[in-house]
Amino acid sequence: MRADKVYLVGFMAAGKTSLAREIGRRLDWRIEDVDERIEARERRPIASIFALDGEAYFRAVEREVVQDLLPPRHAVVATGGGTFVDPDLRALIKADGAVFWIDVPLGQIIDRLPRDGSRPLAGNRPQLEGLYESRRLAYAQAHVRLDASRASVGDLADQVVEWLGA
């Protein structure tokens, strides 16, 4: 086995949580979701954190949550869309496990995004497009790129499990 921990990175609505659940199920590994941990810790949705405390506060909490997730092994971690953009977190994550980028075309992302305001950075289309392009530069530093444009969650899980040699 090449790694005892997997991190999934990619843009919002790329399917990180769904893929983490499938990989975790197949490997019988612990499943962690950074955004879910943040919401549980703060006892409120991410949209509320952004609205009331701002992105800087959210990112500070995110850093603490990621650091809390470093010790456990045999885990699949679904990161938030911006987690891997932070250079310090990116370095920690890359040193801690195998990092897989779920690469989904922007058009598919837009189709998947809810229109209910629950994604605070998705409200403005030109801003969303710029964010998507700028984050791709960070995601490209993952160990493995998964082309998710036409692949199912099962297909992507197959690729990860095969890469791990499990």
Q: Which helix (H) or strand (E) holds 145?
A: strand 144-147
Domain 5-164 has CATH 3.40.50.150: no
Q: Under a CB-based contact definition with an 8 Å cutoff, are residues 100 and 144 in contact?
A: yes
Domain boundaries, the chain: 5-164
pLDDT tens by residue, 61-70? 999 999 999 9
Q: How far apart are the first and last CA of the chain?
A: 6
CA distance 130 to 160: 29
Identity of the residue numbered 146: L
The helix/strand/coil state of 33 is strand
Decide if pLDDT at 158 tops 60. yes
pLDDT tens by residue, 90-123? 999 999 999 999 999 998 988 877 665 555 555 6
